[in-house]
Chain A
Amino acid sequence: MLLIPCPWCGPRDEIEFRCGGQSHIQRPEPFDAVSDEAWADYLFTRINPKGVSYERWLHVFGCRQWFNVARDTRTHEIHAVYRMGEPKPDLRGVE
């Protein structure tokens, strides 16, 4: 069972949250110049790391805010929590 530190509410039980998948995905632009391959990558292709994953989470049964979590997919250990729009934290030595 995970205890997830929501940036607004503090540590809460994982059942209050929903994982929204990989974060920091940029929509390719401009729309009419994007190839089918690049669009398919944007929609479907994911890094799926075995190790630290940078992902979006929603505190759905709490403050209803989105935020980012750096979480290890092998152990589920949470290394960092940071707000939407912030860059990935520097986790050298952890990854």
Chain B
Amino acid sequence: MERYSAWRLFREALNGHRGWTPAWRSPSPKRRYDAVIIGGGGHGLATAYYLAKNHGMTNVAVVERGWLGGGNTGRNTTIVRSNYYHRESARLYDFSVRLYESLSRELNYNVMFSQRGVITLAHSRHDLEVVARWAGAAQLHGVDAEMVSVDEIKRRIPLLDTSPSARFPVWGGLMQRRGGTARHDAVAWGYARAASRLGVDIIQNCEVTGFSRNERGRVVGVETSLGPIAAGVVGLAVAGHSTVLADLAGFRLPVTSYALQAFVSEPLKPVMDTVMLSLATGAYISQSDKGGLVIGGGLDLYPSYAQRGNLPTAQRVIGALADQMPALGRVRLLRQWAGIVDVVPDSSPILGETPVEGLFINCGWGTGGFKAIPAGGTLLAHHLATGEPHPLAEPFGLRRFATGALIDEAAASGIAH
């Protein structure tokens, strides 16, 4: 498989771009793999890549029901940050941000990771206290986080109404300078290409419909729309469909599926060079390199598997932004969509063993797992290959719900993504 480089691009340009070959192989499934990963989103693809790269396991398949990144990985608003409140989370997400910092080189694929900073706005004295406590916690965990003044916020986000009469007055904020955005499709495609190059089989349009078990109940393979595939171990990374697959395997999860919407505006000249999140409204915004404003907000109000999203939530999110950035009031939206996210009571992922032997899980990222893709892949690969949880993954086991050792990021930071 060819390496991508500026020189290569130049040579292909001279040649009318007729020399490019597919970025990954699309073989038909073998009868048996040492590991089968269900779900061709970022977490599944990264898991396959790190199995091959870190553990030398190359007899591996990724089985995807639709197309790569067609789930939440290709639908998210790409915010990457690691200023979480609890130590376990800060370590996990910061490990991921560090992997992002070198990912383009590692994969030989430009994932366009742009550390443009993420600013969280405080809109009241109470918000400001929450944010100060949050910044302090992040700093204790060794994660960069700093308080920013209203003047500094105004300088970075001129569009924002920071006047005293604003509908959502700004009292200050929290900034992580190492946070930013990346290109979502590129993360999926980059991992797929790099995994395929190491020998992993990427199998699209192949839905897992059941599990085969041995007499002891251990999972020994998957049933798929392309026939049975035997597996040494199976990894599950299907986000909003986690309970659907868990039902097939015969166990339950504390996961509820909700629609989360996103919106993109018509392309504009550069108006914003950072990411803004609002604690009062839950709305957030950044500008893509193509000029579109990328906008998101809170979850839809009831559980859903319909990937479209409903109008009241759309109105709430867009209305809030129009209040906060009045100059955008007449900007038209180009597209709107939703992804089905896997929400867990403590808003932290579920990583590791399931009650079924031979089946390991990576789910529960909810509204914020794009930033965690490199970490999630590394940790699931570690568990599949060694049979032991990675130290960073250990606190996030399914057992925490029975022991009470929840990692409650919902209560701690109260913000999605």
Contacts and interface: CB of A to CB of B under 8 A. Distances in A.
Interface string A17-55: 011010000000000000011011101111110100101
A1 B255 contact: no
Interface residue SS majority, chain A: mixed
A76 B402 CA distance: 32
Interface residue SS majority, chain B: mixed
A80 interface: no
Nearest to A13: B312
Given A36-B403, A40-B401, A75 B306 contact: yes
Interface stretch (B136-144, B166-174, B297-305): B297-305
Given A48-B243, A48-B257, A19 B302 contact: yes
A76 B306 contact: yes
Nearest to A39: B402
B243 to A, nearest CB: 4
Given A45-B253, A45-B254, A73-B306, A40 B301 contact: no
B336 interface: no
A7 to B, nearest CB: 18
A15 B316 CA distance: 11
A90 B306 CA distance: 24
Nearest to A69: B302
A76 B304 contact: yes
A1 B310 contact: yes
A47 B311 CA distance: 26
Contact of A19 (B241, B254, B303): B303
B303 to A, nearest CB: 5
Contacts of A21: 256, 303
Interface in B273-311: 301-306, 310-311
Interface residues of A, number: 26
Contacts of B244: 50
A44 B306 contact: no
A63 interface: no
Contacts, number: 64
Given A1-B311, A1-B312, A36-B402, A74 B255 contact: no
Contact of A73 (B303, B311, B403): B303
B228 interface: no
A44 B254 contact: yes
B312 A44 contact: no
A44 B406 CA distance: 11
A71 B259 CA distance: 15
A74 B310 CA distance: 13
Contacts of B232: none
A95 interface: no
A15 B257 contact: no
Interface in B228-251: 241, 243-244
A65 to B, nearest CB: 17
B345 interface: yes
A47 B304 CA distance: 13
Contact of A53 (B303, B401, B402): B303
A48 B303 contact: yes
Contacts of B303: 19, 21, 48, 53, 55, 73
Contacts of B306: 73-76
Contacts of B401: 40, 43-45
A84 to B, nearest CB: 18
A65 B278 CA distance: 32
B167 to A, nearest CB: 20
A21 to B, nearest CB: 7
A32 B264 CA distance: 53
B252 interface: yes
Given A1-B311, A19-B301, 9 more contacts: A2-B310, A14-B310, A44-B401, A46-B243, A48-B303, A55-B302, A55-B303, A73-B303, A74-B305
Closest 10 CB pairs of A and B: A44-B254, A19-B302, A48-B243, A40-B402, A40-B401, A36-B402, A45-B252, A50-B305, A15-B312, A44-B401
